[in-house]
Amino acid sequence: MSSTSDPKKWSRIPRSYATIWQHYRFHCLDEYARELRWFAEQPSLRAAVARAAVARGPQGNRLSHQRHLLRTSLSQAHRLLVNALPTIAACGSFVDLHDTLKHLLAGVPRLSHVYFYDTALRIGAHLSDDGGHLPVEVFLHQGSLQGARRIATVAPLVPRRNPRLAAAVFPAPLSGMPPHELENLLCIYKWCLH
């Protein structure tokens, strides 16, 4: 990526929402969609859960949000989630899946809200023929929470506990994005938002 294509190398100058949205669509969305499609196309739920649990992507590398996690924590998460396949398969929505993973992995050290969200999203992509296991709200944690709080019209709406918001409360054109894509954009572009 060149410095103009990498949003992390952009200056901290606020950008218009339309500019950020276009930049995201042009430079980030294909890779993000390709990663989720890879999880969706896994040959079985077991394979999708196993790969999501250890945060391994299409190239076999550790996915960026989970690079800092201990191998022992990921191995423990893998074992617990693979042993809970019937419970995971019974989840009827993204929220149910997300909450189930948090419950199943409560004793695993050093796993973060981002890990629970990303793992649920990857597994949800596999379970989602009709989008029913993808988020219907924008989940806010770490980077995405910082991004949402930088938007003046959104900041007062962010709840203190379990921060989630409808995409519709965000300014256009962001409000028209699927919630999981908007969460990704908020995290990547948090320093350009205003």
Name the pLDDT band for 1 (thresholds 50, 70, 90): very low
pLDDT at residue 135 in the model: 97
pLDDT at residue 10 in the model: 72
Q: What is the mean pLDDT of the chain?
A: 91
Q: Which amino acid is at 27?
A: H
Q: Residue 101 pLDDT > 90, yes or no?
A: yes
How much of the chain, in percent, has pLDDT values that exceed 90? 76
Going by DSSP bridges, is the β-strand pair 138-139/164-165 parallel, antiparallel, or unpaired?
A: antiparallel
Buried b (16+ CB within 10 A) or exposed e, 101-137: bbebbeebeebebbbbbbbbbbbbbbbbeeeebbbeb
49-94, pLDDT tens digit by residue?
A: 999 999 988 888 777 777 677 789 899 999 999 999 999 999 999 9
Name every residue whose Cβ is closer than 8 Å to that of residue 132 and which is 6 or more positions away in sequence: 92, 93
Name the pLDDT band for 13 (thresholds 50, 70, 90): confident
Residue with tokens 């996915």: 63
**3-state DSSP assignment of residue 6:** coil
- Among candidates 4, 6, 36, 8, which has minimal Cα distance to 147? 8
127-166, pLDDT tens digit by residue?
A: 987 667 999 999 999 899 999 999 999 999 999 998 999 9
What Å distances lie between residue 174 and 24, 48, 102, 125, CA to CA? 11, 29, 28, 21
